[in-house]
């Protein structure tokens, strides 16, 4: 299923260039084709992370675009101590945290149906299978939202199999051993709550 982004790479680059540029200031050392490659390589993972953190497909799409705009603007600050993927995840986590703390997110709520419908199976599958997937997705989402923010974040990050415990530790400002211990507790809590929602 392709990422439902309606913005083109050219528009993203043009907007970032216009926002960044002031008279006499150079643009970052990231060419538009490099930004496009970065976007193609990581946009789906960033989108799904922001979707799980925010719970609203439209806000997640907007947040994904914001993450790449911030990455474009701050490319010169990227030291290379971690992978680009881990750096983008850090930007996404911080951005979603800021969005959740805003007044709007504390007072306006998306319904669970919005998230589940957005992630529903393709229409080519049988209606019974689509319903099963929708119900399972709703149970998983309900269980994730019942967990603490820290446990939810750890489970979402570990679901991305390309991130190591050390990278997750760096993203969450804790040690790898602390990540392992908290992930164990988070998995147990998820399992218990998921079975309760049955």
CATH of the domain at 83: 1.10.1740.10
Whether 178 shows a pLDDT value over 50: the answer reads: yes
Give which of 17, 12, 148, 170 is closest to 90, Cα–Cα. 170
1: Cβ contacts below 8 Å, ≥ 6 apart: 122
CA distances from 115 to 15, 47, 106, 118 (A): 28, 12, 18, 5
Whether 163 maps to a domain, the answer reads no
Asked whether residue 98 is domain-assigned, the answer is yes
Residue 126 lies inside a defined structural domain of this protein:
no
Residue 156: inside a domain: no
Number of domains comprising the chain: 1
Q: Is residue 11 part of a domain?
A: yes
Residue 196 domain flag? no
What are the tens digits of pLDDT across the range 23-58?
444 434 556 777 788 888 898 999 988 888 888 889
Kindly tell me the burial class for residue 11, based on how many C-beta atoms sit within 10 Å of its own C-beta (0-12, 13-18, 19 or more): exposed
Domain containing 85 equals 7-109
**Residue 178 lies inside a defined structural domain of this protein:** no
Task: Find the length of the chain.
Answer: 198
The first and second tokens of residue 38, run together, are 């970065």
70 belongs to a structural domain: yes
In this prediction, residue 5 carries a pLDDT of 43
**0.85 exceeded by pTM:** no
């Amino acid at each position: 299923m392709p990422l439902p982004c309606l913005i083109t790479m050219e528009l993203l680059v043009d907007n970032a260039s216009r926002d960044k540029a002031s008279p006499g200031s150079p643009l970052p050392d990231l060419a538009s084709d490099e930004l496009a490659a970065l976007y193609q390589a990581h946009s789906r993972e960033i989108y799904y992370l922001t979707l799980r953190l925010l719970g609203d497909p439209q806000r997640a799409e907007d947040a994904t675009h914001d993450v790449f705009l911030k990455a474009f603007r701050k490319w010169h600050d990227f030291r290379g101590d971690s992978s680009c993927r881990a750096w983008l995840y850090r930007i996404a986590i911080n951005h979603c945290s800021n969005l959740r703390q805003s007044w709007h997110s504390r007072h306006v709520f998306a319904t669970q149906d919005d998230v589940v419908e957005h992630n529903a199976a393709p229409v080519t599958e049988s209606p019974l299978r689509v319903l099963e997937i929708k119900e399972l997705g709703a149970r998983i989402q309900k269980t994730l939202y019942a967990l603490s923010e820290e446990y939810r974040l750890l489970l979402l990050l570990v679901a991305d199999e390309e991130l190591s415990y050390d990278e997750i530790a760096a993203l969450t400002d804790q040690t790898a051993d602390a990540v392992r211990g908290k992930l164990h507790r988070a998995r147990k809590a998820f399992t218990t709550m998921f079975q309760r929602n049955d």
